[in-house]
Homo-oligomer: A and B are copies of this chain.
Amino acid sequence: MAGRTEWIAVDWGTSNLRAWGIDAGGSITFAASSDKGMGRLEPSAFPAALTEVLTGHVERDGDPLDVLISGMAGARQGWREAPYLETPANLARLAAASVRPEIKGSRLSPRILPGICQREPGAEDVMRGEETQLLGVSALIKGFSGIVVMPGTHSKWVELDGRMVRRFATAMTGEIFEVLGTHSVLRHSVSGADDDGDRNEGFESGLNAGLARPEMLVSELFRIRPRALLSGVDPAWCSGFLSGLLIGAEIGGLRRWTSGGEIPLVGGKKLCSLYARGFAKLGISTRMVDATDATLAGLKAAREL
């Protein structure tokens, strides 16, 4: 049974704000969320958004309360910029590198953790939020060294060695799926998709094509349209194919990063299971790490280090 709230863990993304109360033993005392993500807020609106989401969960008055925040709140266009750590980056330094915006007259004492950037010419990249999940992975899987894959709108591939982030890459797979399915000629083939059986068949076919020929992506993508016209495959099949093709091309293109070891997949269960199918075809085993579990484990570890 959870005790008194000792500190607050916050994941402040572009679209959402999520907060958890944590007691002295590390148990969750409450969970709260709102849609006041960084994308909707002016810098001056962050204090009120944080206060609002905590209303009813913590007393207005009392001793100073530590609030540890990861994610886009620390972006340049966020609450207060938390300058990036650079690769190779030691995740044990996250809390030490945090910034401390003040909320006047409040007991809330926020700290925003930094993201990580990679400045190597031709391999420039950035992350905000994932670094905290990676620290969580290092806490949840003791002694892990290898590749971590974080499927999503912008998938991250990360070479993690204990708490050191050696290098990483981002694939905009999820966003390409969304944008092509909504705004390109392919929208005619994928709209109204609703049959899960056909979707699964299409996914399998696309996954095989993407893994086998990631270099042919721009031509394999178009093929969805004539296939729908000529072979009569339905929108669910096409939507599955588009998803499988993009995920297959991501994994096929970045496979040189893998070295045979088990890959932690950090993200939502459904999406991670699609990636697991792709890796399985290369003979690579995976294990799922729930994204929220990783975030919470990372915030706890950051506070203790």
B180 touches A176 (CB 8 A): yes
**Interface set, chain A 159-173, CB cutoff 8 A to B:** 169-173
Instruction: Pick the residue among B117, B173, B219, B229 that contacts A170 (CB under 8 A).
Output: B219
Q: A173-B218, A217-B253 are in contact. Are A231 and B184 (CB under 8 A)?
A: no
B172 touches A176 (CB 8 A): no
Counting CB contacts under 8 A, is A252 at the interface?
yes
Counting CB contacts under 8 A, is A254 at the interface?
yes
Counting CB contacts under 8 A, is A56 at the interface?
no
Counting CB contacts under 8 A, is A32 at the interface?
no
Instruction: Pick the residue among B118, B122, B218 that contacts A249 (CB under 8 A).
Output: B218
What does the 1/0 interface line of A114-154 toward B look like (CB < 8 Å)? 00011101111110000000000000000000000000001
Instruction: Pick the residue among B117, B173, B225, B231 that contacts A230 (CB under 8 A).
Output: B117
- Chain B positions within 8 Å of A117 at CB level: 226, 230
What does the 1/0 interface line of A36-69 toward B look like (CB < 8 Å)? 0000000000000000000000000000000000
A223 touches B170 (CB 8 A): yes
B125 touches A223 (CB 8 A): yes
Distance in angstroms between the alpha carbons of A230 and B219 in the assembled complex: 32
- Chain B positions within 8 Å of A218 at CB level: 171-173, 176, 217, 246, 249-250, 253
**Interface set, chain A 192-228, CB cutoff 8 A to B:** 209, 213-219, 221-223, 225-227
> Nearest Cβ in chain B — how far from A72, in angstroms?
13
The DSSP consensus for interface residues of chain A is: helix
Instruction: Pick the residue among B209, B213, B254 that contacts A216 (CB under 8 A).
Output: B254
B185 touches A183 (CB 8 A): no
A249 touches B215 (CB 8 A): yes
Among A121, A226, A231, find the residue whose CB has the most chain B CB atoms closer than 10 A. A226
Copies of this chain, complex-wide, total 2
Instruction: Pick the residue among B118, B182, B222, B229 that contacts A172 (CB under 8 A).
Output: B222
B230 touches A119 (CB 8 A): yes
B249 touches A125 (CB 8 A): no
Q: Could you tell me which A residues sit within 8 Å of B by CB distance?
A: 117-119, 121-126, 154, 157, 169-173, 175-176, 179-180, 182-185, 209, 213-219, 221-223, 225-227, 229-231, 246, 249-250, 252-254
Other A-B pairs, 20, CB within 8 Å; known A170-B222, A172-B185, A218-B246: A119-B230, A121-B231, A122-B223, A124-B223, A124-B229, A124-B230, A125-B223, A125-B226, A126-B225, A171-B218, A172-B218, A175-B185, A176-B184, A183-B183, A213-B253, A214-B214, A215-B215, A215-B252, A217-B218, A219-B250
